[in-house]
Structure 1
Amino acid sequence: MKRIALALALTAGTVLAASPTFGQKTDQTGQGRAVVTILPSHPNDNLGQVPQGFKLKVNGKDSTVMNFTPLQESNSPVELVLLIDGGARSSLGTQFNDIETFVKEMPPGTKIALAYMENGRAVFASQLSSNADEVLKGLHLSSGFPGSNASPYFCLSDLAKSWPSHDRTARREVLMVTDGVDNYDRAYDPEDPYVDAAVNDSVRAGLVVYSIYWKDMGRANNTWYQNNAGQNLLLTVTQATGGHSYWEGMGNPVSLQPFLQDLRRRLNHQYELSFSAPSSGKPEVESLKVDLKVPSAKVDAPQRVFVTSAASARE
């Protein structure tokens, strides 16, 4: 009887040893891409050769640069959505000439659309088009009703989820004109869930987001605390996606022209970074740190990036 029990125990041990360990994780490799801006210190300068030999970390882990190439209209046209706050002060109308000039002076292949933040959605007033006159037909004063956007971050998430084009070769750029105040969480919170959701949605959709600070109509938005909170939340979004935030102190800028001119320069100095990185095997938004030093130039790289499995990246 003891021999039978011993034999059964040995058999059970053999079966357990041969069984797969389901909880064990295996190292996998994912892939991703990011748009990096390298802006020369002087407007008329060119970088010359494409920078090489830099390092990057994805989710804190060393990752491999697969390609780093300049983005041109010929291989990566620009799709730009101007997303204007529905509660913006009517004085924004004084800036319409600057906006019109900006739209008309963009390269012929650039497609632009106008959308307004209304009740948590990006409502299009004109569709993506390279025809400046068609685009500008949608330019109008906002309703100016306090809080009519619900939250600028709801509107950005909506835009990211319903981008009006399926051209994956195009660069997806967004310029938000808003005070950045989250009406659902007016206190500054670096972990604001709506801002975090907007960042994740934007990164997954491949958006590069810029912002121009312009005051809303609401009285509660006029305090120094609210203005500062709004600017910092916008900065969180633009830094995460590789864009840039523009403002002049706590008031509305005298002119949008310098900001729009700088944005145009940035669009002309963008590069596509493709990489491979350690991955869990699931599509995830991860942190990104790019170590790239270019003499006499400023490097803006996104702080977040979307990493997919190598298999899905090839599909």
Structure 2
Amino acid sequence: MGFNRRSLMVFAATACVTVLLPFAPAQIEGPQRSHVVVRVQGDHPITTNDLHLNVEGKTLPVTSVRPLVEDHVPVELVVALDDGLRNFGNNLDSIKRFVASLPPNVSIAVGYMRNGRVMLNGGFHSSRDAAEHEIRLPMGSAGAAGSPYFCISDISKHWPSNKRAVRFVLMVTNGIDPYNGRPTPMNQDSPYVDTATTDAQRGGVTVYSIFWSSRAGGGFGYGGFSGESYLSDLSESTGGELLSAGTMNPPSIDSYLDRFNKALQRSYFVTFDAPTRGKNLSSLKVTTNARGVKLHAPREFHAGN
């Protein structure tokens, strides 16, 4: 009798599994609507017919191409200043003028990189006055940011908005990774830079950077070259740009801020359908047949972003 009862229980459990399994939630399969920002270097405006997308070695059609500024595509920009910056006070007015000059479709948050995070006093502002109010002199403490690459990873994974908008970070830092050992000619690779790049690409964040050296942080010599190299790799891999050149601080960063504004004017919101790869990133190559035009885009992206 006991054997029959156990057999009946096993049969019932098996029947339940058989009935319930088909109703388990299925994983999303097939192409997912995806977006990337493509920057044009040149005066030729681009259309869907000008672009060629290669994703994971396969050519994909372009659905739409929209100029960010002309089409008023929503943009969110985090201006991230290293809280360890020194001798930076003369540039505060430059940043305020820059904030005031941004197109109306850009919402702005001002934050300070400290202890591996981007500390924001508030969220994104469409009001230029509100954003300017959050600009202050950095603390100037050596190493205050921790690692700027920890900061990029953090802001990319915890973006301070749920709005569907194009995401940019403009950061000012010496770019040195204090957790990767002493900068030397033989130590120019950092896993934390790679991680920050991956996190930004997965979060759909385009990173622009301005190098600002600091003697206390080793901003000259190998340290300066290392920091600038890291910033260049991170920026270019996400479709952005290292806006500065050389390891000596200029009298003003006005020209760098102006370059960012022009880059924004020449950036396009490109839409296409790409096969999903779960949490994995997909390789991307964007080309054009238009003469005199060079394109900049992230090297990898997350399908469905």
Common fold: TM-score over 0.5: yes
2:180 paired with 1:182:
no
TM-score (norm 2): 0.82
SS of the residue aligned with 1:38? strand
What does residue range 77-226 of structure 1 map to in structure 2 within 5 Å? 77-89=74-86, 91-168=87-164, 170-186=165-181, 187=183, 192-219=190-217, 221-226=218-223
Contact 2:48 2:62 survives alignment (8 Å):
no
- Asked if 1:302 corresponds to 2:274, the answer is no
Offset from partner CA, 1:142-200 (integer Å, 9 cap, x none): 111111111001011111122111111x2111101001111101447665221122112
**1:284 Cα shift?**
1.7
AA paired with 2:171?
M
Contact 2:39 2:267 (C-alpha < 8 Å) held by counterparts: yes
Retained in 1: the 8 A contact 2:219–2:227? no
Contact 1:293 1:299 in 2 (8 A): no
Map of 2:249 onto structure 1 = 252
Separation in 2 of the partners of 1:229 and 1:276?
38
Q: Which amino acid aligns with 1:131?
A: S
Matched to 1:182, the amino acid is D
1:239 counterpart (236, 240, 244): 236
**Pairing 1:285-300 to 2, within 5 Å after superposition:** 285-300=281-296
- Tell me which of 32, 39, 60 is aligned to 1:37: 39
Distance in 2 separating the partners of 1:293 and 1:255 = 38
**1:284 counterpart SS class:** coil
In the other structure, the counterpart of 1:230 is 227
SS in 1 for 2:124: strand
- The count of aligned residue pairs is 274
Label 1:278 to 1:108 Cα distance change in 2 as closer, same or farther (>3 A).
closer
- Secondary structure, in 3 states, of the residue corresponding to 2:54? strand
Structure 1 160/286 Cα, relative in aligned 2: closer, same or farther at 3 Å? same
Letter in 1 for 2:267: Q
Is the CA contact 1:84–1:117 (under 8 Å) kept in the aligned structure 2?
A: yes
AA partner of residue 244 (structure 1): E
Provide the rounded CA distance (Å) in 2 between the counterparts of 1:270 and 1:180: 25
Contact 2:123–2:161 (CA under 8 A) maintained in structure 1: no
In 1: Cα distance, 2:212 partner to 2:189 partner: 23
Q: Secondary structure at 2:79's aligned position in 1? A: strand
Shift, 1:125, TM fit: 3.2
- Counterpart code for 1:192: S
Instruction: State the Cα distance separating 1:49 from its structure 2 match.
Output: 5.6
- Matched residue SS, 1:128: coil
Taking the aligned partners of 1:64 and 1:205, their CA distance within structure 2 comes to 23
Code of the aligned partner of 2:224: N
Residue aligning to 1:55: 52
Distance of aligned partners of 1:217 and 1:130 in 2 relative to their CA distance in 1, 3 Å threshold: farther
Superposition RMSD on alpha carbons, in Å? 2.3
3-state SS in 1 of match to 2:140: coil
Per the TM alignment, residue 211 of structure 1 is displaced from its structure 2 partner at its CA by 0.2
Aligned to 2:4: none
1:94 counterpart letter in structure 2: N
Q: Against the structure 1 CA distance between its residues 293 and 235, is the aligned structure 2 distance closer, same or farther, given a 3 Å change threshold?
A: farther
Residue 262 of structure 2 corresponds to which residue in structure 1?
265
List structure 1 runs of 4+ shifted beyond 6 angstroms. Answer: none
8 Å CA contact 1:181, 1:227 repeated in 2? yes
